[in-house]
């Protein structure tokens, strides 16, 4: 049966529409306007927190990369010195 057929909608009353709207809100299919704004503000807050955390992670990664590169240089120098002392 076509949903645009008026005879189909004649059998549906106000109570049915209210019950379907209530079920839709309970299931999350429909979101009231105020709740939607609250959800968006929570999402925006989470995004800003993640961006701040990403900046902290970038600083940590930079420090780790500098430490690893300086350690690699120190290990190369130590290895070279050990080889030279063993060769003597």
Name the phi and psi angles at 5, rounded to 5.
Answer: -75, 125
pLDDT at 53: 95
Residue found by looking up tokens 């429909």 in the block: 30
Its pTM stands at 0.45
Under DSSP, the state recorded for 28 is: T
Contact yes or no for 30/21 (Cβ under 8 A): yes
Model confidence over 4-42: pLDDT tens digits? 888 887 878 888 889 999 999 888 888 888 778 888 889
Model confidence over 45-79: pLDDT tens digits? 999 999 999 999 999 999 888 888 777 777 888 88
First to last CA, the chain: 97
Contact yes or no for 25/32 (Cβ under 8 A): yes
Model confidence over 48-57: pLDDT tens digits? 999 999 999 9
Calpha distance 59→53 (Å, rounded): 10
């Amino acid at each position: 049966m076509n949903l645009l057929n008026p005879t189909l909608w004649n059998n549906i009353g106000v109570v049915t529409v209210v019950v379907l709207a209530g079920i839709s809100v309970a299931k999350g299919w429909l979101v009231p306007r105020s709740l939607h704004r609250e959800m968006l503000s929570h999402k925006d807050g989470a995004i800003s927190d993640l961006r701040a955390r990403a900046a902290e992670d970038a600083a940590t990664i930079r420090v780790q990369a500098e430490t690893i590169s300086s350690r690699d240089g120190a290990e190369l120098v130590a290895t070279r010195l050990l080889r030279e002392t063993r060769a003597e």
